[in-house]
Amino acid sequence: MPEAAEPPFVSPRRLLWNDAERRPRAPFRLLLTPVVFVAVSLVVGFSLSTALGGLAGSSRLASLVVSLVSVGASGLAALVVARYVDRRTVADLGLGLDREWAVDLGFGLALGTGLMTAVFVVGVAAGWIAVSPAPLGVDRLLGVGSLLAFFVVVGIAEELLLRGIVLTDVAEGLRWRFGPDAAVAGGLAVSSAVFGVAHYTNPNAGFASTTSITLAGVMLGLGYALTGDLAIPTGIHISWNFVQGGVFGFAVSGLDFGTSLVETTERGPDVITGGAFGPEAGLLGVGAIVLGAVCIAAYVRVRRGDLGFDPSVTVPELRWKQ
């Protein structure tokens, strides 16, 4: 009876390293991402926050500046991961920064603004949201302006990390076994789940808010998966958060920033308004998320002539090949 053939030996290096792409394999890139992310965020965030720390308690504006620095460190960490772990070009992060990218960004900004305005209008019309007079002074305008800067940085940093890195790495890792469409769908599911769970530690979070934020991750991820660019999700992310918190005074993912152009109070059932977490945890927010996904699909269909996952999401554009 012939002896069974021994399985071929696979070296640890081959398991960890992709020689053809000259970088770690996808599972280990995903494991390295939070390590580098935390390290860079801690070093930069701690250093700058320490330098500005004396300002943190002096005013709400100063506190926002410190928060802005910390979030900016997260964005820097995402760029470090992309360059030295993923070894991808800036354009391959979804930052093409050409005319088409700018048009898509404008669409995202308009859509995020429109969706949150619709939440406000429906809530007020139904009596679920009450509006209070908010006198506009220099302090309020400065506070709202600082919120805008904060949400711009948050939108860019989170989209770079969740869609530009996590979604892409998962899709690149799955494409060899499942094909490009299934790979992108897998990346979309994983990145959306991470997005939802990451917000679970926010104030007033729970199962409903986590589920809704996960759905929001799907909406944002669609904007990237269908175009291969971060323009649409970045635009939506920025304007959605800013209009939600800086214009209408809603809590943003459980965070109350205390300054806005309009002061509002939720009077309807929490299941509809989202309660203390903000509209994202209620049916108003879920409706806006679903509508947003439909609008993204329609926009891509009209602008590009077809509708499907962009294959470039699964094919890396590596720096060393340039």
Q: What is the pLDDT of residues 111-146, one digit of tens each?
A: 999 999 999 999 999 999 999 877 888 888 888 888
Does position 222 have pLDDT exceeding 60, yes or no? yes
Q: Which residue has the higher pLDDT, 274 or 27?
A: 274
Q: Which amino acid is at 97?
A: L
Is residue 6 in a domain? no
Is residue 87 in a domain? no
* pLDDT tens-digit series, residues 151-161: 998 898 889 88
* pLDDT tens-digit series, residues 65-80: 666 676 777 777 777 8
Tell me the percentage of the chain whose pLDDT exceeds 90. Answer: 51
pLDDT of residue 91: 79
Q: Are strands 129-132 and 23-24 parallel, antiparallel or unpaired?
A: unpaired
Calpha distance 101→235 (Å, rounded): 11
Calpha distance 213→288 (Å, rounded): 12
Q: Stretch 105-112: mean pLDDT, rounded?
A: 98
Q: Stretch 199-214: mean pLDDT, rounded?
A: 94
**C-alpha angle with apex 292: 289 to 298, nearest 5 degrees?**
150
Cβ atoms of 277 and 205 within 8 Å: the answer is yes
Is residue 281 in a domain? yes
Is residue 311 in a domain? yes
pLDDT of residue 48: 64
Ranking 12-26, 161-175, 181-195, 303-317 by mean pLDDT, the lowest is 12-26
Calpha distance 65→69 (Å, rounded): 6
Per DSSP, the three-state class of 4 is coil
DSSP, residue by residue, 165-194: IIIHHHHHHHHHHH-HHHHHHHHHHHHHHH
Does position 58 have pLDDT exceeding 60, yes or no? no
pLDDT of residue 217: 97
Helices 99-125 + 283-304 axis angle, to 10: 150
Calpha distance 314→179 (Å, rounded): 9
Does position 10 have pLDDT exceeding 70, yes or no? no
The DSSP output letter for 260 is: -
Q: Stretch 214-222: mean pLDDT, rounded?
A: 98
Cβ atoms of 248 and 263 within 8 Å: the answer is no
Is residue 78 in a domain? no
Does position 1 have pLDDT exceeding 80, yes or no? no
Is residue 269 in a domain? yes
pTM for the full model? 0.86
Structure token digits, residue 184 = 């992108």
* pLDDT tens-digit series, residues 230-252: 999 999 999 999 999 999 999 99
**195 alpha-carbon distance from chain centroid:** 7
Three-class SS of 235-264: HHHHHHHHHHHHHCCCCECCECCCCCCCEE
Domain count, the chain: 1
Is residue 145 in a domain? yes
Domain that residue 311 falls in:
96-321
Calpha distance 17→273 (Å, rounded): 48
Is residue 32 in a domain? no
